[in-house]
């Protein structure tokens, strides 16, 4: 990782491989997994590492952070903290560069605790831990990064069905027991080679960009009609939807349900709260079958025009749009009662 020469001080030795004393470090009933050397050379595992490295470097390019090794560059929490801040808008009260082992471990623990709060409960697995990540355990690091990528960047094309052989060592009353098991790192995608569902708005962007401004005007009109009962009006899609509040209220109005005010921030005061709101809105849209392609919450929060319009177009398409020609938009954008 190219960031600061001080970073390389006080690094613990690389882990992930069993040593002669490994068994002595296990307490009664404890299990530990070791990635087999042959598995490290598996082409799919190498491809997964490359995809994850490229993903991290792309996300952190504005901060001039370059990762070269997942094991060596992520163990102290520095890169993970920047990644979490970049993808989820989460800023933690930790020192930027921790130089001592204790401080590095403490920082990593804080970062991983924040990760656990971000991920769905089903993904808060025991596949990684502070000790494993800090010990430069490649298997644990991969599980962590795959969980983060699937949560924050579901559009990232991870290699499908990556599996590795690991040595599972357990200290039992009778002594050390070991067995070889196969562990899944990424899920198997059915029909992985098939294209995703057609994104009508994406087609409009590609083939009729001159009509995008008209679409924006029609969508603004549509939103204001639906939100007038709440006394809200929209004029700037990019800025007024960045905090997720109006988006959540709009979904509630269109789908006919009330959102508990405890579930979101009505007046978000920072980017973390804004990301929370937008993430909740996108999850609701997916559950309702309104969104069948990936959108990164931080793109909406940052005011990305295409991402915001694509989300709003999904709502518009269900509740007001009459598909009557290849343009995917009524000639006058006039109201229709389809789906509402």
> CA distances (Å), 250 to each of 15, 201, 229, in order?
50, 19, 11
Residue 85 has pLDDT above 70, yes or no: yes
Please say if the pLDDT value at position 314 is more than 80: yes
* pLDDT of 30 above 90: no
Instruction: Report the CATH number at residue 302.
Output: 1.10.418.10
What is the rounded average pLDDT of the residues 239-263? 91
Same domain, 146 and 16: yes
Which alpha helices (DSSP H) does the chain contain, by range? 37-40, 43-59, 70-74, 78-88, 101-118, 130-134, 138-152, 200-207, 212-227, 237-240, 245-255, 271-287, 297-301, 305-319
Residues 60 and 145: beta-carbon distance below 8 Å: no
pTM over 0.75: no
pLDDT at 301: 92
Note the pLDDT tens digit of each residue in 284-307: 998 888 887 778 889 899 988 888
| 144 and 223 inside one domain | no
In a domain, 324, yes or no: no
Looking at the predicted structure, is the pLDDT value of residue 267 above 50? yes
pLDDT band at 51 (very low <50, low <70, confident <90, very high): very high
Averaged pLDDT, 223-248: 91
Question: Is 95 part of any domain?
Answer: yes
For residue 265, pLDDT beyond 90: yes
Q: Please tell me the predicted confidence (pLDDT) of residue 320.
A: 67
Structural domain span for residue 315: 200-319
Percent of the chain at pLDDT exceeding 90: 24
Number of domain units in the chain: 2
Confidence of residue 334 (pLDDT cuts 50, 70, 90): very low
User: Average pLDDT in the 85-107 region?
Assistant: 83
Output 15 or 224, whichever has higher pLDDT.
Answer: 224
Higher pLDDT, 14 or 92: 92
Tell me the pLDDT tens digit for each residue of 149-201. Answer: 888 887 678 888 898 888 888 887 777 888 888 888 988 754 443 334 444 56
Does 242 lie in the same domain as 140?
Answer: no
Interatomic CA distance for residues 211 and 219, integer angstroms: 12
The answer to whether residues 13 and 132 belong to one domain is yes
Q: Is residue 97 part of a domain?
A: yes
Query: Does residue 210 register a pLDDT over 90?
Result: no
Do residues 147 and 270 both lie within one domain?
no
> Is 142 contained in some domain?
yes
What is the rounded distance in angstroms from the CA atom of residue 291 to the CA atom of residue 265? 22
Pair (41, 106) in one structural domain = yes
């Amino acid at each position: 990782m190219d960031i600061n020469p001080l970073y390389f001080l006080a690094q613990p030795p690389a882990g992930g491989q069993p040593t002669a004393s490994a068994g002595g470090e296990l307490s009664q009933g404890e299990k530990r997994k070791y990635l087999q050397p042959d598995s490290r050379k598996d082409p799919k595992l190498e491809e997964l590492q490359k995809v994850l490295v490229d993903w991290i470097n792309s996300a952190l390019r504005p901060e001039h952070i370059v990762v070269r090794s997942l094991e060596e560059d992520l163990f102290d929490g520095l890169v993970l903290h920047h990644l979490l801040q970049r993808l989820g808008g989460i800023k933690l009260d930790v020192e930027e560069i921790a130089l001592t082992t204790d401080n590095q471990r403490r920082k990593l623990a804080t970062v991983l605790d924040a990760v656990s709060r971000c991920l769905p409960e089903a993904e808060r697995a025991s596949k990684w831990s502070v000790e494993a990540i800090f010990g430069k355990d490649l298997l644990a690091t991969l599980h962590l990064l795959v969980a983060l990528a699937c949560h924050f960047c579901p559009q990232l094309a991870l290699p499908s069905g990556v599996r590795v052989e690991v040595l599972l060592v357990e200290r039992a009353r009778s002594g050390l027991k070991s067995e070889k098991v196969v562990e899944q790192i990424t899920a198997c995608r059915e029909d992985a080679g098939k294209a995703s569902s057609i994104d009508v708005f994406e087609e409009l962007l590609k083939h009729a960009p001159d009509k995008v401004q008209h679409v924006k005007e029609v969508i603004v009109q549509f939103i204001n009609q639906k939100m007038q009962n709440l006394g809200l009006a929209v004029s700037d899609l990019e800025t007024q939807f960045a905090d997720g509040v109006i988006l959540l209220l709009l979904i509630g109005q269109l789908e006919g349900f009330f959102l508990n005010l405890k579930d979101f921030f009505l007046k978000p005061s920072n980017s973390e709260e804004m990301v929370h709101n937008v993430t909740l809105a996108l999850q609701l849209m997916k559950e309702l079958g309104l969104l069948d392609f990936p959108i990164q919450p931080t793109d909406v929060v940052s005011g990305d025009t295409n991402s915001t319009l694509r989300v709003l177009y999904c709502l518009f398409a269900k509740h007001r749009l009459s598909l009557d020609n290849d343009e995917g938009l009524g000639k006058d954008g006039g109201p229709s009662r389809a789906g509402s």
